């Protein structure tokens, strides 16, 4: 793995630390500390990433390629008597010459495990702190089970004098690792949206006056079945639709109201979204959810989905978390199965959101049918009310759930329109198989199906094949 910047190296070291904590499967602490020496010119910045996980292995560093300076590492297993200190020269292409062992430090009979990796750089301290703070704010969204995380800064005002500030602390998640983390992911992502992507310290009272009631949320979890290795892969997705007020505080206006930022997490750590997952998002039949995708792009490691004709009072946010239940300390590539898992998880989240919120994410075809509901309900209401048959009018009143005293044009028309829209919504939620077995509202509804769904059927067959874990 080739490292191109200090920031990239820091995030990789944090990723490795999280995986070591996952392997321990017990309460752990992960600390990232920045320290600067103002009397050095230029100012030298020291960054250390430490954890109380299982202890690192040399294999974690053998495949790293970084063209700037040495990396110091210390590791100690719970049964080790000493803490082993190492110097790693990542410039050296000969693996046997990259490692220099330094004098060890005694643990004095204590039983604990962990790792600390330190790097020194002349990069801007403020720039590094800003970048890591933004990274930690993303880590707030998904609290890592059993792992507490903190970002610390040491200020050396003079030799021998140090002031330490905790820039950010993240409590550990309460769920153990074997439990699917989608519940924690949903809660954290809701908070992220309510705080305008964590730009605020608390819920925005202008846009979300009723808190979570302003949000419509759907979750989806997809995993491979088949062999043990495939069964370990899990993809979680959460889709949030925000109902924003028509008149919002100017400071809350979003620069891109018609765009959706897709956050991606890999093994409980914020990560850059791979191109294969961008392709998976693009292949979803968004029109079946009443959405038209204008463009999809990669922006600073996040997917950006641009919509056509999205209501200005609605905003869509999506988060995807891909993890392997079998913890791998080495950062491996996402397999082809990740693409089909992404499609399935996002579609399941969209389906759940659609099912729980009547009239939301109706397909474009269903929306077209709904546009006829007002005229149709008015016509039927006039026919009922113009009848001179008292028994017929009384039976219609009973079927519509109305009191005879309220049996007027407005009430009858409203009840009929509500029932028509409800039937259309339920019909739109059904699978294609159940649609074919049910009656159609309009005869020409089936005309569009072959053309609209050929590509969708291909992707669904691909998902079924990949879920079998045959390759």
- C-beta separation of 98 from 132 below 8 A: no
In terms of residues, how long is the chain? 471
**Average pLDDT estimate for 48-66:** 77
Give the pLDDT score at 99. 65
Give the pLDDT score at 255. 44
d(CA 324, CA 266) in angstroms, rounded, equals: 9
Give the pLDDT score at 18. 93
d(CA 136, CA 149) in angstroms, rounded, equals: 9
Is 468's pLDDT higher than 50?
no
Topology (CATH) of 2-170 = Heat Shock Protein 90 (3.30.565)
Residue with tokens 């200190």: 85
Q: Which residues share a beta bridge with 217?
A: 240
Of 33 and 111, the structure prediction assigns the larger pLDDT to: 33
d(CA 125, CA 134) in angstroms, rounded, equals: 14
Predicted confidence band of residue 453 (pLDDT cuts 50, 70, 90): very low
Is 182's pLDDT higher than 70?
yes
Class of domain 182-356: alpha beta
Domains of the chain, residue spans: 2-170, 182-356, 364-467
Is 450's pLDDT higher than 50?
no
DSSP for 303-333 reads: EEEEEES--TTEEEEEEEEEEESS--SS-PP
DSSP for 334-395 reads: PPTHHHHHHHHHHHHHHHHHHHHSTTTT--HHHHHHHTTHHHHHHHHHHHHHT---HHHHHH
Give the helix/strand (H/E) hosting 146.
none
Is 354's pLDDT higher than 50?
yes
Q: Residue 221: which of 180, 271, 184 has the closest Cα?
A: 180
Distance of CA 145 to the CA centre of its chain: 16
Residue with tokens 């008597």: 81
Predicted confidence band of residue 447 (pLDDT cuts 50, 70, 90): very low
Give the pLDDT score at 1. 66
Q: Which residues contact 297 (CB under 8 A, 6 or more apart)?
A: 303, 304, 306
Note the pLDDT tens digit of each residue in 313-329: 889 999 999 998 888 76
Give the pLDDT score at 161. 63
Give the pLDDT score at 351. 93
Note the pLDDT tens digit of each residue in 281-304: 999 999 999 999 999 998 877 899
The whole-chain average pLDDT of the chain stands at 79
pTM exceeds 0.85: no
CB atoms under 10 Å from CB of 286, counted, come to: 19
Give the pLDDT score at 192. 92
């Amino acid at each position: 793995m080739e490292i191109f910047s200090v920031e990239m190296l820091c995030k990789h070291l944090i990723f490795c630390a999280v995986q070591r904590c996952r392997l321990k499967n017990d309460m752990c602490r992960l600390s990232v500390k920045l320290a600067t020496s103002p009397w050095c010119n230029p100012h030298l910045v020291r960054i250390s990433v430490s954890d109380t996980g299982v202890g690192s292995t040399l294999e974690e560093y053998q495949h790293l390629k970084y063209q700037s300076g040495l990396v110091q590492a210390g590791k100690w297993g719970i049964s080790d008597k000493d803490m082993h200190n190492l110097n790693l020269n990542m410039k050296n292409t000969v693996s046997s010459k990259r490692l220099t062992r330094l004098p060890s430090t005694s643990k004095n009979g204590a039983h604990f495990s962990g790792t600390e990796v330190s790097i020194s750089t002349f990069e801007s301290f403020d720039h590094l702190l800003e970048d890591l703070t933004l990274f930690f704010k993303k880590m707030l969204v998904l609290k890592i089970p059993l792992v507490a995380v903190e970002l610390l800064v040491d200020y050396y005002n003079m030799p021998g004098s140090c002031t330490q500030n905790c820039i950010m602390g993240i409590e550990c998640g309460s769920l153990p690792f074997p439990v699917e983390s989608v519940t924690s992911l949903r809660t954290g992502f809701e908070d992220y949206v309510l705080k305008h992507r964590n730009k605020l310290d608390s819920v925005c009272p202008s846009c979300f006056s009723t808190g979570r009631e302003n949000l419509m949320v759907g979750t989806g979890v997809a995993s491979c079945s088949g062999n043990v290795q495939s069964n370990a892969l899990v993809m979680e997705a959460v889709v949030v639709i925000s109902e924003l007020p028509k008149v919002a505080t100017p400071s809350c206006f979003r620069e891109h109201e018609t765009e959706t930022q897709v956050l991606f997490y890999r093994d409980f750590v914020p990560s850059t979204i791979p191109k294969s997952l961008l392709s998976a998002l693009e292949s979803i039949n968004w029109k079946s959810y009443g959405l038209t995708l204008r463009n999809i792009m990669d922006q600073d490691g996040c997917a950006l989905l641009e919509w056509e004709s999205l209501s200005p009072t609605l905003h869509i946010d999506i988060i995807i978390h891909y993890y392997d239940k079998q913890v791998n300390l080495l950062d491996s590539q996402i397999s082809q199965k990740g693409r089909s898992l992404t499609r399935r998880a996002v579609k399941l989240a969209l389906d759940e959101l659609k099912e729980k919120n009547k009239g939301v994410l109706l397909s474009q075809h269903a929306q077209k049918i709904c546009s006829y509901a007002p005229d149709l309900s008015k016509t039927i209401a006039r026919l009922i009310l113009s009848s001179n048959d008292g028994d017929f009018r009384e039976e219609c009143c009973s079927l519509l759930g109305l009191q005879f005293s309220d049996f007027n044009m407005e009430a009858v028309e409203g009840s009929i329109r509500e029932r028509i829209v409800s039937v259309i919504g339920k019909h739109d939620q059904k699978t294609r198989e159940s649609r074919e077995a049910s009656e159609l509202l309009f005869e020409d509804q089936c005309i569009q199906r072959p053309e609209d769904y050929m590509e969708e059927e291909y992707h669904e067959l691909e998902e079924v094949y990949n879920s079998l874990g045959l390759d």
